[in-house]
Amino acid sequence: MQRPTISALVLGLALSLACSTAPKAADPTRPDPPDPVGAPPPADPSGSSDPSRSGTREHVDAAIESMIIGAMVGAIGGPIGAAAGAVGLGIYGAVTGDVPLASSRSGTPRRSESEAEDEMEREIEEEMAKQDELEAEIEAELKRQEELLKQIERDEKQREAEQRPAAGGEVTASTDPREAPRPPQERDLPASIFDTKPRRVPKGEWGNDKPIDVVASSLDADRDGAPEEVRYHDQKTGVILRKEEDRDYDGRIDTWVRYDAGLVVAIDRDTDGDGTLDEWQSYGRDGRMARREVDRNGDGTRDAFFDYQAGSLVEERHDGNSDGKLDRVVHYTQRKITHTEEDLDNDGRMDTWTHFDSAGGRELISRVERDSNGDGKADTFETYEQLAGKPSLKERNEDKNGDGKIDVRSVYENGKLKQREISDPTLTPL
């Protein structure tokens, strides 16, 4: 007859201990003792969740897994050590129903099925909450873009109003605020109403590099001693060089116009009458505005800039919080907005780029790129489609680890998440 091996003896010992330590089933031939007062009703004998069976199974599983761990640990001391380790930990697992060293080996403690289900439900709820939060962010972004377009429209109306009152109340601004305006028209006034006298302009007074001999023609229509307009002409050629105006008739000059060869090249203005310049205009040889700069809050710093080319607005830049750094740039092509750049966190670097398509005379958002981690590079890309005349998110691509490759692709239908693809499994759960 063959001698049993050590492992067989160990396994038998562990199983016998597991069975001996498990709760015993009740003997149906013996009468049940009377229920103590307040004791819970006995469990249904036909139920599948018999605690005695469950307890036995858990103890047997724990004993077997404990034996394996014990044998692996004891193997350092040879076959005898492996047998001793298997016996010792097997008995421990059979008696307690726990697996020693399980938490240190796997990194997580043993969990019941109910705990695992609860955790799964929590993860599902967290993912749904994240999705709700994302949809709220998308909705907020759409509202922000609508407000951006409204702000651009308000800026255009303000710009149009600022350009409208020309010298003498003449309207010279175009009905299209994105068209480069022309300088105010000169009023055709008879020379007899002006008081003229020669004058020498010292070097540097007008930025001139040498003294200039001019004829100053002053118009004081209300005879209050403060002229409303002074024109300066070259004494030799009679060509106009400069004009100063009191546009609001408060007795102080608030507009300075410079000429080159009889054409307006620059206009500086004090629009709020505080004695400080707050608007600077320059004009090209085509007679249209080339650049305009504005100090809108009167703090002495220019905070809005407009560039024109070929008679059309091509770019505008804004410092909305007056910190000396640009936080919004709008680009135009053929007088239509093509894209914008924004610094939403006011750290001095652009972090949001929005692209527009034109349809039916309107600019509609088509794509948004974001820098979510502040490294200066876009890592989130959203594509929009137009539904019922309004933008709706169609696709969202994200580079989660900053390697320049898309890690998460989310597809939307009617603004709701329909499908999500994750290329890097280490990113789950998101």
pLDDT in tens, the chain (430 residues): 444 444 444 444 444 444 444 444 444 444 554 444 444 444 444 444 555 555 666 677 776 776 777 666 665 666 666 666 667 766 766 667 676 655 444 445 556 778 877 777 777 777 777 777 777 777 777 777 777 777 787 777 776 776 655 434 444 445 789 999 999 988 888 989 999 999 999 999 999 999 999 999 999 988 888 999 999 999 999 999 999 999 999 999 999 999 999 999 999 999 999 999 999 999 999 999 999 999 999 999 999 999 999 999 999 999 999 899 999 999 999 999 999 999 999 999 999 999 999 888 888 899 999 999 999 999 999 999 988 878 899 999 999 988 899 999 999 998 888 898 988 777 655 5
Residue 293 in contact with residue 269, Cβ under 8 Å? no
Strand segments (E) across 360-430: 362-370, 380-387, 390-398, 408-413, 416-422
Q: Return the beta strands (E) in 106-163 as ranges.
A: none
Backbone angles phi, psi at 47, to 5 degrees: -70, 155
8 Å CB contact between 56 and 18:
yes
- Length of the chain counted residue by residue: 430
Cis peptide before 28 (omega within 30 of 0): no
Q: What are phi and psi of 209, to 5 degrees?
A: -90, 0
Task: Report the amino acid identity of residue 400.
Answer: K
- To the question of pTM greater than 0.85 for the whole model, the response is no
Cα–Cα distance list, 29 to 32, 89, 181, 211, 276 (Å): 9, 37, 108, 130, 109
Residue linked to tokens 């003498």:
168
Q: Which single residue is written with the structure tokens 């609860």? A: 118
- Residues whose CB is less than 8 angstroms from the CB of residue 318 and which lie 6 or more positions away in sequence, other chains included: 303, 304, 305, 326, 327, 328, 329
Query: Can you read off the two tokens belonging to residue 375?
Result: 């490294």
In sequence order, the 6+-apart residues with CB closer than 8 A to the CB of 276 are 270, 298, 300
User: Which sign, positive or negative, has the C-alpha torsion 37, 43, 49, 55?
Assistant: positive
Bridge pairing between strands 263-269 and 255-260: antiparallel
Nearest-CA neighbor of 19 among 64, 85, 71? 64
What's the rounded Cα separation, in Å, for the pair 361 and 359?
A: 5
CB 317 within 8 A of CB 304: yes
